[in-house]
Every structure is written in C-alpha cells, then in structure tokens.
Amino acid sequence: MRITKEEKVLTIITTDIICNKCGKSCHDIDGVNYEGVIEHELCGGWGSKVIGDGYQHQFSLCETCFMELSKTFVIPSLTHVPLKIYRDVKR
C-alpha cells in the first residue's frame, strides 16, 4: 500500500532569453523557439590572467550577434550547410 500526500512543487520556467550583447529577446520570429541562441558559462582556470582565477561568466548571444562576432574570427567557424530540402522550406 502506498501512502501519499498532495504537495505543490515550484517550477521555474524560462519565459525569455535576452542577448547580453544587444539586449534583445532571443525568441525567433514566431516567439516560440530560440533559434541559434548561444548560452555559455565559463570559469577562469587556475591562474587565469585574462578571465581571472575562479571568476565565472554566464552569457547568452542571439544568432544575429553571433554572426556579427563570427565575422571577426581570424579562423572562420566551421559551418555545415543544411540539405537542399531544408533550405527550400519557406517560412
């Protein structure tokens, strides 16, 4: 026999992700998905002189800001082109 009780559970739901660079919402045009959003956490390693030893950073970038940033890369980011059937889908 299982003895139960009713208990309310608090659930935290993400309602939006804001780009740290431009301050805009990372929602897609439909307001449903986060297309291309980058969420990243990093921590300065032992003796890090750039980030700082033990300093933690957490940020989000929208796809527009990522593409602007990627244009500054000395070595281009690796890009995979989707299959033609996906490129032909009209939104």
- Contact predicate 77/66, CB 8 Å: no
- Per-residue CA distances from 28 to 3, 16, 32, 70 (Å): 46, 11, 6, 20
Residue 20 Cβ vs Zn ion, minimum distance, rounded to whole Å: 8
Does 27 participate in binding Zn ion (rule CB under 5 A)? no
Q: Which is nearer to Zn ion, 44 or 64 (CB)?
A: 64
In the complex, residue closest to Zn ion by CB: 19
- Measured CA to CA, the distance from residue 79 to residue 91 in angstroms comes to 22
Residue 65 makes contact with Zn ion by CB under 5 A: yes
Site residues (vs Zn ion, CB under 5 A)? 19, 21-22, 62, 65
